[in-house]
Amino acid sequence: MKPISFEDLNGKVCVITGGAGVLGSSMVKALASVGMKIAIADINKEVADQVAGEIAAEYNAQIIGVAANVLDKESLENAKAEINEKLGPIDILINGAGGNSPLATTKVEQMEEKDIDHPEDTFYGLQLEGFDKVFALNFKGTLLPTMVFTQDMLKNRKGVVLNISSMNSYKPLTKIPAYSAAKASINNFTEWLAVHLAKVGIRVNAIAPGFFITNQNRFLVLDEKTGGFSPRGQKIVNNTPMGKFGEPDDLQGATLFLLSDISSFITGIVIPVDGGYSAFGGV
Ligand code: NAD
């Protein structure tokens, strides 16, 4: 028997939306390390090009930056045409674009008696615009790219979709109802689509990252003045049995595992990569 490896991924074409971000770019490094051809499809083309150039040079890999808005089908179709022309048919999709917004975040964790006369810091002060934005980016921003970027996989009767969920999908965190609901919808959609596509050769799975300090949550978990953890950041560490935040590279193993034929009988699952957070009851 040949040693088990990620060899089957060598030369495969992967599109990663939001691939210019903190977690996405670490995944791009993992893909490059096993010889994949990568399109970083991001709304921020400039950063996508920069990340593509840096990682391509480091790994001697074929990586392109492509402008794409995951909420706009036409932009995704244009991106697909460009990827097909430059890299060939798409084998794998990672739906990495997503995130939260301060507009969809309550200021207080729980409503208290004193908040009843000042509801602006609570659920009642949330701006619907922020709610819509976060829900769209995370849910529709996974749905639409999947419709567009799996077309070549359908033709080949083979492909993999990897969605990015979150700890919020299992039990919502306080303050961020839109993000929590949207990520719960990602788990549900992952299962639904896995069933729907199981007979045409496309596997659909997700990873649920635990806590990583990135642009979208920095304002919540770090204290701007001291640079140390905010009370919320400290609470996260206390509830993570490994006692720390994750490093983006911690997602690389689960990513390659779910993309590779090594997991060819696995579809419709969500793997937590969380230092034990989801296993811990808090006591
Ligand atoms: P990030 O903000 O660093 O990266 C997100 C990327 O998505 C950016 O490059 C951004 O330009 C791009 N993007 C935003 N809107 C887009 C759009 N409309 N179309 C195309 N691209 C768009 O975020 P991150 O922390 O690396 O998060 C990546 C994924 O991981 C997200 O789905 C996030 O919800 C999820 N996640 C993050 C954490 C964490 O601790 N950071 C935890 C769990 C899940």
**Digit-coded pLDDT (tens) for 187-239:** 999 999 999 999 999 999 999 999 998 876 787 788 888 888 998 899 999 99
How confident is the model over 40-74, as pLDDT tens digits?
999 999 999 999 999 999 999 999 999 999 999 99
DSSP state of 265: T
How confident is the model over 103-154, as pLDDT tens digits?
999 999 999 999 999 899 999 999 999 999 999 999 999 999 999 999 999 9
Sheet holding 37-42, edge to edge: 63-67, 37-42, 13-17, 92-95, 159-164, 202-209, 270-273
Known active-site residue 170:
no
Angle among Cα 87, 257, 48 to the nearest 5 degrees reads 40
Q: How many CB atoms lie within 10 A of CB 118?
A: 11
Domains of the chain: 7-210+247-272 (3.40.50.720), 214-245 (no CATH)
How many A from CA of 18 to the centre of ligand 1?
6
How many A from CA of 249 to the centre of ligand 1?
15
- State what percent of residues in the chain have pLDDT above 90: 90
**Parallel, antiparallel or unpaired: strands 270-273 and 13-17:** unpaired
pLDDT of 278 reads 97
Mean pLDDT, the chain, whole residue set: 96
Instruction: For residue 75, give every residue at least 6 positions away whose Cβ sits within 8 Å of its Cβ, in sequence order, or none.
Output: 67, 68, 69
- Whether the CA torsion 71, 75, 79, 85 is positive or negative: it is positive
Q: Among the options 59, 124, 179, 277, which is catalytic?
A: 179
